[in-house]
Structure 1
Amino acid sequence: MSSNPGDGPDEQNPFKGTPFEALFGGLQGGAGMGGMPDLSALMAQMQSLMQPHDGPINWAVVSDIARKVAAQQPDPTPSQAQKDAIADAVRLADHWLDETTDFSSGVTSTAAWSRAEWIVETLDVWKRLVEPVAGSTVNALGDALPEEARAMAGPLLGMLGKATGAMVASQVGQGIGGLAGDVVGASDIGLPLGPAGKAALLPLNVAAFAEELDVSADDVLLYLALREAAHQRLFAHVPWLREHLIGAVAAYGSGIEINTAGMEEKLRGIDPMNPASMQEAMDGGLFDLSKSPAQQAALERLEVTLALVEGWVDEVVGQATEERMPSAAKMQEAVRRRRAAGGPAEQTFATLVGLELRPRRLRDASVLWGSLRARQGTEGRDGVWMHPDLLPTGADLDDPLGFRETAVAPESLSDEDFEAGLRDLLDGPSADGDTGPERPTE
């Protein structure tokens, strides 16, 4: 024992009094001179988790973990027959949708994906969606320390930052791997996760979905192909929508506040020399992701937009199947419940990463689009997508039948008159004092 109280291990702990004090104490189990941990030994133990990478987390690790999670159940490569069946179903779906909307087909190719292929094909979009949340989480490590502690920690702080990034990568990989077992297509969660124009379904998950219903497998495949093709049409013909949605998720994630007050208890149980103990600490989420009032408002706006996308798809698919597919109503209800409540994997992902992707107001949005079509036709319904300022708000979903209730089917307008009216609606009064059409209030 040191004779100088100032040289004791507590005094040399730069994390004393912070949520990381317990973790530093564990590190001292391998301490060298002066009670400091043997960083070289510890880094050797964690080398596999902390390879050099760009950004807050290592996406190679995310992909590897996600694929291992997906591989816990059989995940065969789709057969040629399954690929042909999906291509035929999407082709027929597009033919039906031609009668429900003036938006032409947005499909440029079709694909049948295994769960592992879904992970690989969607990873680029997941990076944009998750990195803001992951960056906030990793940065919380340094932000939780007083300035003097950060100076004392030196290289140890950098090492812990990498360790935190490795743990977050493990979380994200688990979440994406779990989702791969639930999703049925490239656009299943309302976001354009796959390459633009590629209509893709997962035969294994489509078959699992069909088992839950008393409906023929062919009808299930065609119904889900209709939904996938409808998503592709919407994103192809509303050029701002893809970035609007992905940007909204990224903006929400970048403003997440990490509450480190609850970290201490979990960190206390971590053995730094045992990566498995770090994994156990991540169960249920290591960090408490707090939502400020601004973040809660951002999440509500995101959910409204997701509901509008899903509601439009629900409406046009319902229109296409109304007289052709008697079983469609049963499948529509199953999809609505699935999307509004979220499956077990989606709920786990929300817990781990703090990202909820559930359009809770899908039914209201579907009613709103259907009501608008009944009064204004498909042109009036689909014209709302011309600009984000024209979209219904959360208040409009409170009264979906009342959205533009005085609107009637427009008379035929020239392209010039239509563009002038749209400009007046978006820009307000013109220079000559004409107020133009009254702009809807929020």
Structure 2
Amino acid sequence: MSDHPFGFSSGDDDDSRKRGEEPNDPGANNPFGFGTGGPGGGGFDPNQLGQMLTSLGQMISGMGQPGSQQAGPVNYDVAKRLARQQLGASITPVSSGTTKAVTDAAHLAELWLDSATTLPAGANKTVAWTANDWIEETLTTWQRLCDPVAEQISGMWTSALPEDAKEFAAPMVGMLGQMGGLAFGSQLGQALGQLAKEVLTSTDIGLPLGPSGTAALLPEAIAEFSKGLEQSESEIMVFLAAREAAHQRLFAHVPWLRQQVLAAVEDYARGIKMDFSAIEQAAEGMDPMALADPSKLEEILSQGAFEPQTTPEQKQALERLETLLALIEGWVQVVVTDAVGDRLPGAGALAETLRRRRATGGPAEQTFATLVGLELRPRKLREAAALWRRLSTDASVEARDGVWAHPDLLPDSNDLDSPAGFIDSVIGGTTTAFDDPLAQLAETEAREKADREKNDQGKGTESGPDLGKGEPDKDSGTE
């Protein structure tokens, strides 16, 4: 699996670079085959653009199936169609018996969670999804995550054009945008089709992908996951329902959390920079007509010409994201462990299986790396879980959950490495700042409302008879 956005490989196959053109090919010096050896021995040759536009138009017209002309950096109609094609026609609807089993597992998990956290239930409903349902219900969030990457790469294609070519290139840029949308949509569809077969819940990769307030389990994937494990499928269903419900409680009652997690991914994507010298090298010796050949275009993409360059901003966004994911997963792990307790004898083994599945960079992480260009791995999960555990035992469950009341109260990456100081700050007299987060939010809202009402009343009485009562009216104009 590629490490680069949308599956662009970092491999360097010398044989694949050979196009068979002569060394003095006019398309050898600039990206996209625009040569500096046009008429008169220099500059951009408009005739090349005319030929290229004709061929590109024919190619795109040939792709003119429904949805292929969708505007935007990613063609999501193509993505959805390809993802469903990967699943095939053998998707079995969820039976009423399975739906009831999912609902019962979720109900039991919620009852157990009530004693393990101060955060109330966050899901309005629990549903059983097929793989097709997962694709349909999560595509909106994937669009938010993938668009920044695609926009960055598409913009860089345009900025890589030679200056003397840009004035002639406007029609071609639109066509390249459509080609890019098709290419990204194709990569997205393939990745989502694979991921849809393997995810167990809507929050399986740590992100709130599904609709707010909806907890979802995928029974078919859970049945496959259960094969070879010692626990029964019903026990595994309850355990996964507890994890899903715990995630839902956190995302529902910590109102800023969903935005912070998704924004960290978006910030990372917007920080992508490209090495234009690599793009020029990829296009070296390429005939302009090659871009009209999809196989040639795919060959360029496969050479790693679009390998992103890590920036300081990206490193900061990645650290924020990894820390948030570790804190979320660590909290869920501690809460679920306390909730299921001895009720599920195999819960510890299940937790370890899921932890290893995540830590070894399984299909979910690899797919996310392909789609968004970063690894989705909470590297400090054990440290985060240990911190939440110590807060639970050394302080209280209320103090532990109260840390989520505001993003500024959360531990950072350094606190996960050395948690003693952070834990002492919670235990040693400042726990009032970490009391019930819901009560604190309600108190803040009430205080802000009271302040607004006071200000409104003040504005209404500025010219009233009591203003300046008992004092001379200095502004009245009288002596």
Structure 2 equivalent of residue 64 of structure 1:
81
Partner of 1:351 in structure 2?
Answer: 370
Q: In the superposition, relative to structure 1, how do residues 266 and 67 fare at CA in structure 2: closer, same or farther (>3 Å)?
A: farther
Q: Does the C-alpha gap of structure 1 residues 131 and 229 become closer, same or farther in structure 2, counting only changes over 3 Å?
A: same
- How far residue 157 of structure 1 moved from its aligned partner, in angstroms, is 2.8
The 1:71/1:142 distance shift into structure 2, 3 A limit, reads same
Task: Check conservation: 2:122, 2:249, Cα contact below 8 A.
Answer: yes
Residue range with higher mean Cα deviation, 338-347 or 364-373:
338-347
1:80 to 2:106 alignment: no
Cα pair distance change 1:286/1:166, threshold 3 Å: farther
**2:11 match:** none
Matched, 1:187 2:203: yes
Give unpaired runs (5+ residues) of structure 2: 1-21, 36-46, 445-479
What one-letter code is carried by the residue in structure 2 that aligns with 1:21?
A: G
Task: Label 1:37 to 1:107 Cα distance change in 2 as closer, same or farther (>3 A).
Answer: closer
Q: Which of 244-253 and 363-372 deviates more?
A: 244-253
Q: Residues of 2 paired with 1:240 and 1:36: CA distance?
A: 49
Contact 1:105 1:233 in 2 (8 A): yes
Separation in 1, partners of 2:67, 2:234: 47
1:89 is aligned to 2:105: yes
2:243 to 227, 238, 254: 227
TM-score (norm 2): 0.76
> Residue 452 of structure 2 aligns with which residue?
none
Which secondary structure state, in structure 1, belongs to the residue aligned with residue 168 of structure 2? helix
In 2, distance between residues paired with 1:104 and 1:280? 53
Match of 1:209 in 2: 225
Tell me whether 1:175 sits opposite 2:191 in the alignment: yes
Q: Distance in 2 between matches of 1:362 and 1:162?
A: 41
Q: Secondary structure at the match of 1:133?
A: helix
Counterpart amino acid of residue 372 in structure 1: L
Structure 1 residue 291 displacement after superposition: 1.4
| Counterpart Cα distance in 1 of 2:112 and 2:330 | 18
What's the secondary structure of 2:424's corresponding residue? coil
Letter in 2 for 1:96: W
Please tell me whether the aligned partners of residues 186 and 201 of structure 1 are also in contact (alpha carbons under 8 angstroms).
yes
Closer, same or farther in 2 for the Cα pair 1:16/1:148, shift >3 Å? farther
- Partners of 1:272 and 1:44 lie apart in 2 by 15
Counterpart of 1:18 (choices 30, 54, 66) is 30
* Residue 360 of structure 2, aligned match among 327, 330, 341: 341
Match of 2:38 in 1: none
Question: Secondary structure of 1:199's match?
Answer: strand
Deviations 1:178-204 (A, max 9, x none): 221221011111111111111101111
Aligned 8 A contact 2:274 2:306 in 1: yes
Which entry has the higher C-alpha Rg, 1 or 2?
2
Question: Paired residue for 1:38, among 26, 37, 54?
Answer: 54
Q: TM-score, normalised by structure 1?
A: 0.82
Contact preservation (8 Å) 1:50, 1:162: no
Which deviates further from its counterpart, 147-156 or 241-250? 147-156
Letter in 1 for 2:243: R
Cα drift, residue 402 of structure 1: 4.7
* Partner of residue 403, structure 1: 422
- 1:119 corresponds to which of 118, 129, 135: 135
Kindly indicate whether residue 258 of structure 2 is the aligned counterpart of residue 242 of structure 1: yes
Residues 115 and 181 in structure 1, CA contact (< 8 A), matched pair in contact too = yes
Q: Report the residue type matching 2:30 in the other structure.
A: T
User: How much does 1:121 deviate?
Assistant: 0.4
| Residue 307 in structure 1 maps to residue 326 in structure 2 | yes
Query: Residues 392 and 403 of structure 1 are in contact (CA less than 8 Å); yes or no, is this contact kept in structure 2?
Result: yes
Measure, in 2, the Cα distance between the counterparts of 1:394 and 1:330.
27
Alignment partner for residue 379 of structure 1, among 398, 403, 406?
A: 398
Alignment partner of 1:128 is 2:144: yes
- Displacement of 1:348 in angstroms is 4.0
Identity %: 43
* Post-superposition offset of 1:18: 2.4
Q: Is residue 198 of structure 1 aligned with residue 196 of structure 2? A: no
Contact 1:375/1:408, CA 8 A, preserved across alignment? yes
Question: Does the CA contact (< 8 Å) of 1:96 and 1:320 recur in 2?
Answer: yes
State the 1:407 CA deviation. 3.6
Q: Is the 8 A contact 1:101 1:378 kept in 2?
A: yes
Deviation of the 1:158 alpha carbon: 2.3
How far apart, in 1, do the equivalents of 2:32 and 2:124 lie? Answer: 51
Match of 1:330 in 2: 349
Is the Cα contact below 8 Å between 1:284 and 1:351 reproduced in 2?
A: no
- The whole-number CA distance in structure 2 between the counterparts of 1:184 and 1:33 is 49
1:110 equivalent in structure 2 = 126
Where 1:200 maps in the other structure, the secondary structure is strand
Letter in 1 for 2:252: A
Q: What SS does the corresponding residue of 1:405 show, helix, strand or coil? A: helix
Paired positions, count: 405
Which residue of the partner structure matches residue 410 of structure 2? 391
Post-superposition offset of 1:271: 5.5
Instruction: Go from structure 1 to structure 2 and tell me whether the alpha carbon gap of 1:335 and 1:171 turns closer, same or farther (over 3 Å shift).
Output: same
Counterparts of 1:202 and 1:34 in 2: how far apart (Å)? 51
Choose from 47, 62, 70 the match for 1:53: 70
- What is the alpha-carbon distance in structure 2 between the residues aligned to residue 60 and residue 406 of structure 1? 51
Change (3 A) 1:197 1:264: same
The one-letter amino acid paired with 1:58 is N
Per-residue Cα deviation, 1:30-50 (whole angstroms, up to 9, x for no partner): x99985553443332233487
Q: Letter of the aligned partner of 1:20 in structure 2? A: F
Paired AA for residue 334 in structure 2: E
Distance 1:230 1:281, change over 3 A: farther
- Residue matched to 1:364: 383
